[in-house]
Structure 1
Amino acid sequence: MAHLIMKYGLSIGIGLLLLLNSGCSSPKQLSFSEKLQQQKIYYSSLSEEEQIKAVKEQWWRIGFIKNPTYRVQKTALDISPHAIEDIDHPTKEIQILAVRKIMKDGSFNTALTKLINSFSEEAQIEAVKHNPQIIQYIPYPSPKVQLAAVKVNPFVVKNIINATDEAKQEAVKLNPRVAKFLR
């Protein structure tokens, strides 16, 4: 121990002595949030290839990776479209890919209804093209999103609060019976 004190200085030597004398023989019990934090630190410190391997083994590990790369995000989505719920800051391309995968078989995913409002305009347009009813989960859809939804199903205009005049006109043009639902 003395040679460590001489080599690295008194403060490190004292720190080592304190560590040895502090009874560290039994590991400290970590709280759940501390364990989660350790998982995030561990998975975020891995290389991209190691992160991809980890996500391939268990797709939900994507939730432990801070700012995953596009390749890591795509790998997780390829395994399960539900991974979109756990991806930190998904890119626009990943959002669109998730929408396509979720809507591919015509399923209506409740997770998507929760996330759709935070998605980019392009991802929202992709979603309403697959299922225009999802527009009701977007509190303030852009004029482009409104128009895309109405073109697929003119009757969804009744689910749009403050629908634009353009969306209303397009809906009536496509199906005149929609006019009675307009406000």
Structure 2
Amino acid sequence: MRMIKINPFSLQHIPNPTEEMKLTALRENGLVLEFIDHPTKEMKLVALKNTAKAIQFIPDAPKELLEQAVHKSWTNLAYIKHPPEWLIMEAISQSGWAIQYAENPSEELQMAAIEQNYDAIRYIKHPTPRVQAAAAAINYTALRYIDKPSFEAQCIAIANNEQAIRLFVDTDTETLLTFLKINILVIRYLPRNRLVSNDDLKRVLKETLSRDDVPEKYVRDFIDCRRIETDYGWSPVDKLLFVYRYGSRKAKQITVDEKLKIQ
């Protein structure tokens, strides 16, 4: 027995070990379970108490043992073959990264994962459009893990953070113009070789600023954006005149308020 306590794996070399020998070995190292034929329920529980990794040596483990293993750490899903969806959901409640152990995760699992950790989307091979949109709404950088993010997800990312354009800088011109309609500050992060023409910029601004429901932030960002001045030669007065000529009543009111605030 002393030898087993010193080296629990020595159990595998003992012919016909007693139940107490097996339990002693398992108390020292639960992974010894691999070398025990037909372990009793008590042995399984002792092994799991020592290390949840012992779950890998319990084929067709009952629900209570699966829960016990995952409760200790979501990473123990790695030792469970074909974990059921309910168990993966349990693991996801600890970390969204647990989604990596789901072979074909349902949209419900995908959503739960990215709500827990937005970057868990890196472990989802084919995230649904809804999941992509939700991840983009949490943090635009989630889209860097998707080969071809949906257009909706791209637009949400752009709306929330203009720096998202860095992920889509190679997009076509029309899509780029759409992004500028959503968030004019996208222009701050465009490399010089991707800047839209002055005519295209005017077209975007006319269409957006003329809207009765133009977002207040959009108008203020346009007025305050220095890159339009430095790269397109617009003076602050040019901006005011542009809004006066093409802007909706709402856009004009916001512009006046913004200029008064600046002064």
Q: Runs of 5+ in structure 1 lacking a partner?
A: 1-25, 28-34, 104-108
Q: Is the 8 A contact 1:95 1:120 kept in 2?
A: no
Corresponding residue number in structure 1 for 2:123 = 137
Q: Runs of 5+ in structure 2 lacking a partner?
A: 1-13, 16-31, 172-263
**TM-score w.r.t. length of structure 2:** 0.43
Of the candidates 128, 133, 143, which is equivalent to residue 114 of structure 2? 128
Structure 2 letter corresponding to 1:159:
Y
Q: Does 1:118 align with 2:103?
A: yes
Q: Does 1:155 align with 2:141?
A: yes
Q: Secondary structure at the match of 2:60?
A: coil
Structure 2 letter corresponding to 1:129:
E
Structure 1 residue 164: Cα displacement: 1.4
Structure-2 change in CA distance of 1:42 and 1:82 (3 Å) = farther
Aligned counterparts of 1:167 and 1:95: Cα–Cα separation in 2: 26
Aligned counterparts of 2:101 and 2:150: Cα–Cα separation in 1: 20
Of the candidates 50, 68, 71, which is equivalent to residue 78 of structure 1? 71
Aligned counterparts of 2:145 and 2:49: Cα–Cα separation in 1: 40
Structure-2 change in CA distance of 1:65 and 1:79 (3 Å) = same
Identity of aligned residues (%): 24
Which residues in structure 2 correspond to 1:89-108 (within 5 Å)? 89-102=82-95
Aligned counterparts of 1:116 and 1:90: Cα–Cα separation in 2: 8
Structure-2 change in CA distance of 1:141 and 1:180 (3 Å) = same
Structure 2 letter corresponding to 1:68:
A
Instruction: Using CA pairs under 8 Å that are at least 6 residues apart, name the structure with larger relative contact order, 1 or 2.
Output: 1
Q: Does 1:42 align with 2:42?
A: no
Structure 2 letter corresponding to 1:89:
H
Structure 1 residue 117: Cα displacement: 5.8
Q: Is the 8 A contact 1:65 1:88 kept in 2?
A: no
Structure 1 residue 166: Cα displacement: 2.1
